[in-house]
Amino acid sequence: MTRSSLFPGFDGLLTLSRREGVDIKPTLLRVLTDLYVQASTHSADEERQFVELVSRLVDDVDDATRAAVRARLAIYPGTPIEILTKLGLRPAQNEAMLPLAGPIPSALRASPLKAPAREDTPSAGLTMQPRDAAELSEMFLRAGVKERIAILENLATAPLRPAAPTPPHRALNAIEALEMAAFNADVETFTLELGESLLLPARITQEVMNDASGEPLACAAKALGMPGAAFERVLLFLKPEIGQSVEAVFRLSRLYERLSEQAALIMLAAWRGSAIAAIRAKHRPALYDDERQNVRASSPRTAQSSPRPIVRTVSEGFKR
């Protein structure tokens, strides 16, 4: 499949959605739809890829997700004809500005945009495997600002188990220490305290701190339970490249207000899982049968090096 710049990094989520036990197809479909309707025009390759992805996912999601996607695409003038037909919508005719949506089934009229209750979802609360967590973490870290916001907004309803919140007394002490380090522009102390508070390895914490746009830092602060006012003070004093930009501080503050704790804790779980995946990959044998090869190679040497039995005779004494 040709990768379009409109959907960077979604191959990893497609792979994750095919694996047994983790169903994130509803989240993926919502993210794709949100990204598509944000642009007023699309190239032929972007339209083709959108049709291919949505056609593959729309039949495998729940009714609430399908209704939400249907509502978004029904009022978007650039929805491809193939998707309109698949969703039961009528394309625009006679130079009409918008395509007309057909009647919504009575089962969906009560709450078409309401996500299903988490306890009614068979796959609710599923724990990500380390490899899946690594793919989600990598996709988020290499995505652009718009893609990151769409991912975070949809993670709040994803059937994935979040990380456990930090105990309140530990979080309060950590927030005070982080504010003091930020006020002194002590990035090193801030990084160490953040990693210890969230139980993150140094490599992941450095990636969060070194990110230029600031969304990973917002996720980490939200997962710790930092108040919005404290997060704004951190932005103003910790890094000059952010604190001296009114636009950057305002953008991240608005993101922090909308960011749910659920989404931040799911991302925290993904970061921790990616660290486990990295450790496993580091200690994995180069060949799948290395151990068996070693056993087979050592067997002949063991047989050749075994000593001959000692035989005693009356005339010659001890002989081997």
Closest CA to 193 of 211, 185, 181: 181
Does this model's pTM top 0.75? My answer is no
Q: Which residues of the chain have pLDDT under 70?
A: 1-23, 91-126, 277-320
Measure the CA–CA gap between 219 and 238, rounded to whole angstroms: 16
Model pLDDT for residues 34-88, shown as the tens digit of each residue: 888 888 888 888 888 888 888 888 888 888 788 788 878 887 888 999 988 888 8
Structure tokens at 228: 């919005």
Angle at 166 between CA 164 and CA 172, to 5 degrees: 160
CB 8 within 8 A of CB 147: yes
What's the confidence (pLDDT) of residue 208? 93
Region class of 185: left (phi > 0), else alpha (psi between -120 and 50), else beta: left
What's the confidence (pLDDT) of residue 25? 78
Helix, strand, coil fractions of the chain, as percent rounded to 5: 60, 5, 35
> Which residues does 252 contact at the CB level (< 8 Å), separation at least 6?
214, 215, 217, 218, 231, 235, 242
What's the confidence (pLDDT) of residue 103? 57
What's the confidence (pLDDT) of residue 257? 93
Model pLDDT for residues 267-295, shown as the tens digit of each residue: 999 898 887 766 666 555 554 555 555 54
Instruction: Specify which residues 318 forms β-bridges with.
Output: 312
Alpha carbon 77 to chain centroid, angstroms: 30
Structure tokens at 77: 């003038």
Structure tokens at 260: 């749910």
The beta-carbon contacts of 152-156 under 8 Å, at least 24 apart in sequence, are 152/215, 152/219, 152/259, 152/260, 152/263, 152/264, 152/267, 153/34, 153/258, 153/263, 154/27, 154/30, 154/31, 154/34, 155/27, 155/262, 155/263, 155/266, 155/267, 156/260, 156/262, 156/263
What's the confidence (pLDDT) of residue 116? 41
